[in-house]
Amino acid sequence: MKKTKCRKRNLDFKTKYNYKPIFGFAMNTAEFFKDFKRSFTFIALFFLYRDYIIRFTLFYFSTSCFSPMILADKDPILASLSDKFKERFGRPATFLGRAPGRLEILGNHTDYNEGTVLSVAINRSARVAAAANPDAQDGMACQLYDIKGKSARRFRLDALDRKRPRDWSNYIKGIVCEFNARGYSIPAFDMIVTGDVPLSAGMSSSAALEMAVVKVLDALSDSKLGWLEQAKIGQGSENHYVGANTGLMDQLSSLMGREGQLIYSDFRSFEVKNVPIPTGTSFVVANSNVKHNLTNEYNERREACEEAARIIGVKALRDVTPAMLEKAKSRLSDVVYRRAKHVVGEIDRVEKGSQALAAGDIKAFGELMSISHDSSRYNFENSCDELDTLVEIGRTLPGFIGARLSGGGFGGITVHLVEADAAQKYSDVLAERYLAKTGVNAQVMILTAGDGAELIRA
């Protein structure tokens, strides 16, 4: 009978292990136990490092080999970008990037005051597809195309100082500048962009675009930046190129979101953690359809906060308690005092809100949201009649828990925390009554918490 050979050794199985069947089992030699020990060691190492193995596997599949079928099921808009890129530029994209918009739940204008914020990444995202273009004119020409706006832009990597006022391409050019400032060389590239985050509505469509672009350019340049540096590149684009003196909350929220979770961010320590969203609740978001460009208004508010901190003698308003602010009131102008009162109060409300969520006290959390809106209305003055109307209507509706403006303000959106069973009816009535009072159609939607930004090989 032909014997089964053992690999690399001219021994059959029975000879190798001195196999003798006893009661249906094998009585084995020391060499069997030596092989068993090797196997046991491998299994033990797997369980010891299983978290790292799982994380690496998930990262590898999310960035390197998402099959078209899986990607199409997960994000059909992103999946279609590869074909649209090829139609536009005649060659395949190398990388796809997706990054969500965000809702600010508590902590209005606290990020640049080194405070804390509770936010959430939403299931609406910016999406980009890109590839390096080695055939670009002298290696410097970049091409952009916005699918929704049907607008094309070209710029040169050696002429980034040529800005187009109030143009969407400035966000991308600013990101290239931020990579360059850190010593990373971005190759000439072509890119198409699209998305479903409402523009100028307080859901940070700009940060969503920035983080999707950062993910892709990080890969094209092989920069391998960490999440905090990626967020700072997006912020730098707005601060240094676009001219909006914004904080870091929008970019962090877009990067660090997790399905079904809020994001707690500390903008002094840069601690970021996820907080479960209470069960039985939904976020109803109402877009007032009042557009805003907040560059000038935002800068004025930030300057007032910095002035208050300087007069009180602290590094940032994060270091000011409500009692300290009241003691210093006589040294502050009325406007500066009210701006500071809003921010100091918001930082306090974030901490109280986190405690309420931990205790399962959703009613207390909703009340803090409503107090936050009143402070925006009277102290920070970044609300407007349309936002106030949406909040006031919400307070009269069944299922209401809390509501406030979200984001920079001066138009945009209100976010309403409502009982999940009442969310659809709440949305319908809110839209109807807003139209009756203002003559404006509000875009009202029920949004969910989504995952943060991701990079995918096309």
3-class DSSP assignment, residue 447: strand
User: Looking at 218, 250, 319, 421, which residue is catalytic?
Assistant: 250
> Distance between CA atoms of 250 and 351, rounded to whole angstroms?
19
How far from 153 is each of 11, 139, 178, 186, 257, CA to CA, in Å?
Answer: 70, 17, 19, 17, 31
Residues across the chain = 458
Type of residue numbered 272: V
Question: DSSP secondary-structure letter at 456?
Answer: E
Determine whether 295 is exposed, middle or buried from the number of CB atoms within 10 Å of its CB (0-12, 13-18, 19+). middle
> Considering only CA atoms, which of 208, 215, 216, 210 is closest in space to residue 169?
210
> Distance between CA atoms of 87 and 96, rounded to whole angstroms?
15
Contacts of 114 (CB under 8 A, 6+ apart): 267, 268, 315, 316, 317, 318, 319
> Considering only CA atoms, which of 155, 180, 181 is closest in space to residue 167?
155
> Considering only CA atoms, which of 156, 152, 257 is closest in space to residue 204?
257
Neighbours of 169 (CB within 10 A): 18
> Considering only CA atoms, which of 337, 321, 343, 351 is closest in space to residue 409?
343
Is 222 noted as a catalytic residue in this protein? Answer: no
> Distance between CA atoms of 193 and 179, rounded to whole angstroms?
19
Active site residues: 250
